[in-house]
Structure 1
Amino acid sequence: MKNILYKLFEHQYLGREEAREILQNIVQAKYSEAQVASLITVFLMRNISVEELCGFRDALLEMRIPVNLDEFSPIDIVGTGGDGKNTFNISTASCFTVAGAGFPVVKHGNYGATSVSGASNVMEQHGIKFTTENDKLRRSLEMCNIAYLHAPLFNPAMKAVAPVRKALAVRTFFNILGPLVNPVLPKYQLLGVYNLSLLRLYNYIFQESSANYAIVHSLDGYDEISLTAEFKIATNANEKIYTPESLGFPRYNESELYGGDKPEDAARIFDNVMNNIATEAQKNVVIINAAFAINIIQSEKSIYECIDIARESLESGKALLTLKKFIDLNS
């Protein structure tokens, strides 16, 4: 590891195979926590390359616990995290809204590393028991259109670096890797990123895959559609910048999306959204993210039609019913 660190400190880059081997060694505990922390820190000081990211991804996918849910053609909605905005669980609420509208969702998530509440935090707040059993995950999809994969159970490298990530409490390249290593390899994906360079990086990687995708970035720094500013969407077909107003929404303040100071605060907002008693800003930001996810699956529909589908799922109680069934099946 010492030689690897010197190489990186001298502003050199890792090859794809070299990156793959390093991550495998991390999982096998061949490096100390201090060495792993130093490695992670390098990628806070410069952008990760396509070769490095692909190598790390290769290692994670090779070591993952396999899950086969291909027959559902599911979607995942996920953000990289690390935007420093500490929002409530927008992508998780969007997943239940999409599932409530009748579309299969396989959400891949983790505890919050740089925010108060990640997807796994809000799941645990609702009594969800994480599982790797394929039959249980399939049944959850069959019964309520959604299954949840807690990343550390399926990706041993995520578990191996969890203490270091928690101690550092800053975004790392594992935030970038997370959306690329859903063990199901979902057919559809809505991915939020916290800057434009990441949008370009993911766009390059996804173009080489068979996934139908949209990568989103709010230009004021959110890793999701926040409706606080213009936002950019990159898909298989094109790139486009939207304003909230062009889609029929007002612009909101950042404070209106704040997730609180502890996981319980974020879980309460999540519940308010699901029960359709949240503020207009909280509800609409979930609707717009869910709408773009639906639009990936049903690209023949306009985004305005998809907004209507997402709104009906949330306001009719279908999303809430989906959440309740999911809790019954998985707690």
Structure 2
Amino acid sequence: MTLLTTHNPIRPLPEATAAELMRIFVDQDTDALLVGACLALLAQRVPEAHELAAFAGTLAEAAVPFPAVPEGTLDTCGTGGDGASTANLSTLAALLLPRLGVPVVKHGNRAATSVCGSADLLEALGYDLARAGVDLAGDLEARRFAFLFAPAYHPLLGRLREIRRRLGIPTIFNLLGPLLNPAQPPLQLLGVAREELLAPMAGALARRGTLRRAFVVHGKDAEGKGLDEASIEGPTVVLTVTDGRVEGSQVLVPRELGLTPPPRHALRVADRAEALAVARGLAAGADHPDFRPAVADAVALQAGLGLLLHRDLRLEALPAAFGEARGALDHGFAWPFPPSEARP
């Protein structure tokens, strides 16, 4: 307990101290109220890249391992915490990308502060969250998709779920989730809810030795509010990480992709049932009554960025990649699940 009482979590922590603090957080003997108070304090400032890397490194040491993944494998994820209640754009992009030839190993969990988490959506679509690691590795090879359910690979984090739920605010663990994929894919598309998180999250990714390339993005909606994804409503700032280096930022503007502003709240879903209906409509193609063109545009934007990473192209090639993904959505696509799991 000495560490928690002698260091003020508001100030940046030395790397070794951050690692030890994370070990205390996941220790079953640490008082839950103390952990909650510490998480609330940490949430009052932007963490630094070395802290995030130390926190994630400590958790990765205790994670259940996953077999090595093929070169060109991608993860798409966001930090959550933007309060926008949009459809599951990064998850839907992860389901589309295998159709475009991109292997995806997505790591995620149930909703903590959002309407519908990636695991919630996939389970509702028929995905078996308890699927064994050896089967997931086979899925990745045969179908270019595997979903790694976070609790199965990070058992130490189970005790923190209730603490996070009771706090009701985004915590440091929203930021760590995207850094904890046990497959450690070489490519990553990562959305952050606040612009000030771009640099520390990119810096933390750059410290991961297995990462070859990543886009860290932060978008703005029509009202100027932050989104943890690339935006079809306003500008998106992109930081590129390449082989341990964080490159300069670039800004994407929807009109450069030929996009016009969508109707107000066109991307929002009220609950899990609506999120599921939107997902099924998207997969069914443009003729389905639940197909939302604005959601298709937003998913195609995330998928287009994923295509650039997979093909080692720069952002200047995004219009063509976006068009390819958007065209595929008009025709519909099948879930990249084993047939026994897919539900109509």
AA in 2 matched with 1:265: E
Measure the CA separation in 2 of the matches of 1:5 and 1:272: 52
String of CA shifts for 1:206-228, please: whole Å, max 9, x gaps: 33343310011113300001311
Superposition map of 1:133-212 within 5 A: 133-209=132-208, 210-212=211-213
Matching residue of 1:328: 340
Measure the CA separation in 2 of the matches of 1:289 and 1:126: 20
Q: For 2:36, what is the secondary structure of its paired residue?
A: helix
**How much does 1:63 deviate?**
0.6
AA in 2 matched with 1:275: A
1 or 2 for the larger relative contact order (CA 8 Å, sep ≥6)?
1
String of CA shifts for 1:240-266, please: whole Å, max 9, x gaps: 111100111112355111121x21221
Measure the CA separation in 1 of the matches of 2:78 and 2:339: 23
Q: For 1:241, what is the secondary structure of its paired residue?
A: strand
Higher helix residue share: 1
Q: Does the Cα contact within 8 Å between 1:111 and 1:117 map onto a contact in 2? A: yes
Number of aligned positions between the proteins = 326
Q: Does residue 285 of the first structure (1) align with residue 290 of the second (2)?
A: no
Q: 1:243 to 1:181 in 2, by over 3 A?
A: same
Measure the CA separation in 1 of the matches of 2:18 and 2:61: 13
TM norm structure 2: 0.89
AA in 2 matched with 1:36: V
Q: 1:197 to 1:150 in 2, by over 3 A?
A: same
**How much does 1:145 deviate?**
1.0
Matching residue of 1:308: 323
Matching residue of 1:256: 266
Q: Does the Cα contact within 8 Å between 1:193 and 1:222 map onto a contact in 2? A: yes
**How much does 1:64 deviate?**
0.6
Q: 1:5 to 1:312 in 2, by over 3 A?
A: farther
Q: 1:218 to 1:5 in 2, by over 3 A?
A: farther
AA in 2 matched with 1:108: H
Matching residue of 2:215: 214
Measure the CA separation in 1 of the matches of 2:136 and 2:142: 10
Measure the CA separation in 1 of the matches of 2:79 and 2:203: 16
String of CA shifts for 1:50-107, please: whole Å, max 9, x gaps: 2321221111110110001323531000000001111111111001111111110001
Q: Does residue 231 of the first structure (1) align with residue 246 of the second (2)?
A: no
Q: Does the Cα contact within 8 Å between 1:5 and 1:38 map onto a contact in 2? A: no
Superposition map of 1:101-120 within 5 A: 101-120=100-119
Q: 1:327 to 1:76 in 2, by over 3 A?
A: farther
Q: Which runs of 5+ in 1 are unaligned?
A: none
Q: Does the Cα contact within 8 Å between 1:228 and 1:253 map onto a contact in 2? A: no
Q: Does residue 265 of the first structure (1) align with residue 274 of the second (2)?
A: yes
Q: Does the Cα contact within 8 Å between 2:98 and 2:143 map onto a contact in 1? A: yes
